[in-house]
Amino acid sequence: MTWEDKVRALAADARSPSSVLALRAADILREIATDDPELLAEAARAIVRAQPALASVVNVANLALRAVEALGLGSVGKALDTLRQGIEADRHAAVTALCAAIETPVSVVTISANIVVAETIQALHRHALLERVICAESRPLLEGAAFARWLASQGCPTTLVPDAGVGEHLRPGAILVVGTEAILPQHVVHRMGTRLLAAWACLAGVPRYVVATRDKIYPRELVSRFSVPLLPASELLREPPPGLQAEIRSFDLTPHALWTEIFVGAAPADVAAQKGDHRLARGLLQLGA
């Protein structure tokens, strides 16, 4: 399989978690850096175009090119390994920061089958700060149902609810906790329905948190490239009838102002964006033009 075939497969994958897709993107870039380094910039641009909504994929492409531009081809693997270590450190720091914000036991409402959210829930449980988890089923893929099953197997009191019923649990004593696919300058990108829940939680006075890692900060120079692709009608209907129009997207955008806090590691998102080095590789500049 050529690298172009692998990128096309990456673009067509609407089901794998963004962390898995980022690892696949990293593997493609490592292989090209070793076998055909002159194509690295072209491949990085193709990867950004393949998954324009996923900051983790975009940042893998950007980091690989920046490493080559600054230190040479031999630095790609080390740079990607360093990013992975930083992501792991951020994950633990974000969990700690959110737990520090909670003083009494709460019910955690989530529509996010996300590793940072999972670790947050486990930490709250260990510290006797968790009353119950309320998980949305997360149609059409039902990853929320799988997440609820896993949480229950870990000993966390868990309730699974239909997507349309999540709002009923946003009441005093609850918090809304989600991960994210990308942090844009003005919005948080997460699964469809997040914006409505965050708005309702805000009206209900329920605290709202995003837990994230550094790879979720979308490069500012590429924000014009950000898009959420439409999914085929077959995601909801096995055999869509002729003439049926479907508008199905995986993600929506929630304004920063609707969140109580957006943690990137231990830092608020605006601080993390200013402190971190998120410069764009020269090989990607044309994408932002």
- Res 244: pLDDT: 84
Joined tokens for residue 17: 């978690």
Decide if pLDDT at 63 tops 90. Answer: yes
- Res 289: pLDDT: 60
Which pTM value belongs to this model? 0.94
Joined tokens for residue 178: 């989600």
Mean pLDDT score across all residues of the chain: 93
Name the amino acid, one letter, at 63. L
Spell out the alpha helix ranges (H) of the chain: 3-12, 18-35, 40-50, 55-71, 76-100, 115-126, 143-153, 194-204, 269-275, 285-288
Q: Which residue has the higher pLDDT, 125 or 139?
A: 125
> Which of 77, 55, 57 lies closest to 6, judged by CA?
57
Decide if pLDDT at 12 tops 80. Answer: yes
- The stretch 165-173 carries a mean pLDDT of 96
Q: Which residue has the higher pLDDT, 74 or 228?
A: 228
Domain 90-275 listed as CATH 2.20.25.10: no
* Domain positions in the chain: 3-88, 90-275
- Res 221: pLDDT: 93
Q: Which residue has the higher pLDDT, 1 or 263?
A: 263
CA distance 78 to 65: 12
